[in-house]
Amino acid sequence: MERASSTQILKAEHQVILKVIRALDAIIQDMRAGGAAPTDRIRTIVQFSRLFVDRCHHGKEEACLFPCLERRGVPREGGPIGVMLAEHEEGRRLVRTISDLVDAYADARDRHQLMALCAGYVGLLSGHIAKEDGVLFAMAEHVLADADEAEILRGYTAVDASEGGPAAREALMHLTDEVAGQRS
């Protein structure tokens, strides 16, 4: 059985992330229709975003894939890697702000701000994933050598291990299913 490539692994993780993003989008739609803000569920999505999206997924890109791409001539400054890194930072900022607002959630003003922030996060991640899947990963598949792939995959294993290994990943996948399966 052939092992998945570095970009195939990240694309599979994108599908997991999109499942949660669709759930967040459904929350926004329910809130726009007058539904209550499910703050506990949004907190769970924030937790998922911090642990899986940022530490596991972006951790792999930033520690393993992007440095290798730079060594192969894909530019950071003025290039796709710089754009991806800026979007990672914007996602972190949005998640922090959403988390702070959910923790202090009190009134209708917060409700509108929360919907706007969540919609911004949905839009950011949806567009970010489309760029990576459609452009950056195609570049990676073109420039990476077999030795690069092996190095990146070892790095992915190290990132996963540093984030708790298979048991932690299984817990995150359960969290994903829980969030995606709920209705607000």
Q: Is the pTM of this model over 0.75?
A: yes
Quote the pLDDT of residue 184.
46
- Mean pLDDT taken over the chain: 94
Section 14-29 average pLDDT: 97
Neighbours of 127 (CB within 10 A): 11
What digits encode the pLDDT tens for the residues 36-46?
999 999 999 99
**What structural domains does the chain harbor?**
6-181 (1.20.120.520)
For residue 122, is pLDDT > 90?
yes
- Mean pLDDT calculated for residue range 116-123: 98
Q: What angle do CA 66, 70, 74 make, to 5 degrees?
A: 100
pLDDT in tens, 54-99: 999 999 999 999 999 999 999 999 999 999 999 999 999 999 999 9
Structure tokens, 14? 């994108």
